[in-house]
Structure 1
Amino acid sequence: MAGWEWDESLYSGSAAYYARGRVAYPPELADALANALRLDGSGRLLDVGCGPGSLTLLLATHFEAAVGLDADPDMLTEAARLAAAEGITTTRWVHERAEDLPAGLGAFRLVTFAQSFHWLDRPRVAAAVRGMLEPGGACVHVHATTHRGTTTESAPPHERIAELVREYLGETRRAGRGVLPEGTAGGETAIYCAAGFTGPERIEVPGPVVVRDIDDVVATVFSLSSSAPHLFGGRVGAFESELRSLLTAASPSGKFREQMREFVVDVWRP
């Protein structure tokens, strides 16, 4: 992502919306990883760029302890709240940038990146993570699109929502204080291989069909870095009002049904 630099405002204001706005990782994803990696409740998990703990909490019961690391303190506050609500007491939340790893965190049986790797200094972080894996450990990269699925006639009007965002924020995709005219970076395979990983072993889990209401879709929009609440400044209320009107017109019942895309997991070995 040439010309773009991370800054602390990337997801400013999004934490309160993220868990509701993003479709949850399904239990089948945890089951598939547990089977592939022979998880038996031992060892430690590190979830890098954990956000509000969406994957951390799903996998936590497969380990003795889990660490969620994120650069956004509000995301970690939300993660701690959700962990308490679920009665999960084996998680620790660390406010740190991934670029500061290993950060004295020790060794892990599994390190995960779920919709976070593209925001990082990837060669640096991949090399650091490889050195943090215990013998027999693995690194998992989750490819997922949890804010929208495939188009159906009863899905949220994603393109019209995108047009509304552009009306308020401009044609070029925003990200923190910068812009991403060409989107986020790809090419993860080359990064992992250059860091000394072997693989990947690929696991695919079908996406669910979900039914969502207007509040869910509003939360989805505000959960995105490209339409985080802070980007709208004093116009955030006007934007939300227009967004709700658009959604009500698209579905007078206030309900949307959508087939989510499959979850693709790459398992990398050191």
Structure 2
Amino acid sequence: MSTPFASAAPYHARYRPPYPAEFYTLLADRFALDGWQTVLDLGAGTGANSLALAPLVDHVYAVDPEPAMLAEGRRLAEERGCTNVSWLEGDASVVSRLCLPRIDLCVIGSAFRRMDRVRVLADLDAMLAPRGGIVLVSSAAGPEGQSPPWISVVEEVCADFLGADGGTEDGVAGPGDPARPEDLARPEDPARLEDLDEHLAKSAFSRIDTTVWNQRLRFTADQLVGLQLSFPRSSPALLGNRQRAFESALRQTLLDHDPGGTYTRTVAVTATLATRPRP
């Protein structure tokens, strides 16, 4: 039987909006990525960060606990002719036992909030090169304040098909996923982001620098339908034989709300760069 995480993987690979190009330019500049570095993408999902960084470094290790996510990453890598990414199954608790080489840069998306942060940061301290660093990247609601009206449309349809909690009781989210299925652009709670900074400040990587970009996202109705299926809490596995009805209802309700068929949202993408203090 397919799990919510596994069934969401193909939609995750196709419909998740990428981080802005400026994010990868920042990493290239700040960590002097010149083709010789080794990168760890922890909680990689389908490898969006791995594939974006692969042309800039010598090798990327993409680590994720969900085999279906890794399979999608491998497929995308093959399509793009990308041969310097290793796709490794495992979660953050076993990363120190994967026998990886010295790491120059570790990138972690929103999955960091579901990790044992103290343990992960201690493990990374033993794995990262002296001048290596950690980058946490996530998205939060943008400067527009209130969510755009179309998000309420999505929430209502999800509630009709999956209940108010999106079809689960434990609120668990998958690799790279937001806390709620209606959070369509990986938004993070700002309070959670502050909590992450506190964990970094108490770790070996206490030198922290944060950069924020406002990213304008634009979706069609079909893209929003696919995006919803990319969330484990509204995945094909949970929808079961109701999936086609869900897709049809969501698409039609969105078009009834805005016949123009274009739906936009601004998110604030935050990249937190953490390195060891300079001597």
Same fold (TM over 0.5): yes
Distance 2:237 2:149 in 1: 23
Counterpart secondary structure, 1:28: helix
Partner of 2:273: 267
Partner of 1:225: 232
Distance 1:174 1:165 in 2: 9
Question: Where do 1:82-231 residues align within 5 Å?
Answer: 82-102=76-96, 103-144=98-139, 157-172=150-165, 178-179=170-171, 186=192, 187-207=195-215, 209-231=216-238
Counterpart secondary structure, 1:112: strand
Task: Measure how far apart 1:27 and its partner are.
Answer: 1.6
Counterpart secondary structure, 1:206: strand
Counterpart secondary structure, 1:241: helix
Contact 2:142/2:268 (<8 A) preserved:
no
Distance 2:81 2:30 in 1: 26
Distance 1:132 1:9 in 2: 32
Given the superposition, is the C-alpha separation of residues 193 and 11 from structure 1 closer, same or farther in structure 2, using an over 3 Å criterion? same
Per residue, is there more helix in 1 or in 2?
Answer: 2
Counterpart secondary structure, 1:11: helix
Counterpart secondary structure, 1:204: strand
Unaligned ranges ≥5, structure 2: 173-178, 180-187
Distance 2:222 2:142 in 1: 17
Which amino acid counterpart does residue 178 of structure 1 have in structure 2?
A: D
Counterpart secondary structure, 2:48: coil
Query: How many aligned positions are there?
Result: 256
Contact 2:102/2:128 (<8 A) preserved:
yes
Counterpart secondary structure, 2:93: helix
Distance 1:178 1:230 in 2: 16
Q: CA RMSD in A?
A: 2.7
Distance 2:205 2:171 in 1: 31
Contact 2:208/2:272 (<8 A) preserved:
yes
Partner of 1:5: none
Unaligned ranges ≥5, structure 1: 1-7
1:145-178 CA distance string (max 9 Å, x none):
5xx86769xx671112112212222223555x72
Which amino acid counterpart does residue 124 of structure 1 have in structure 2?
A: R
Match for 2:253 among 235, 243, 246?
A: 246
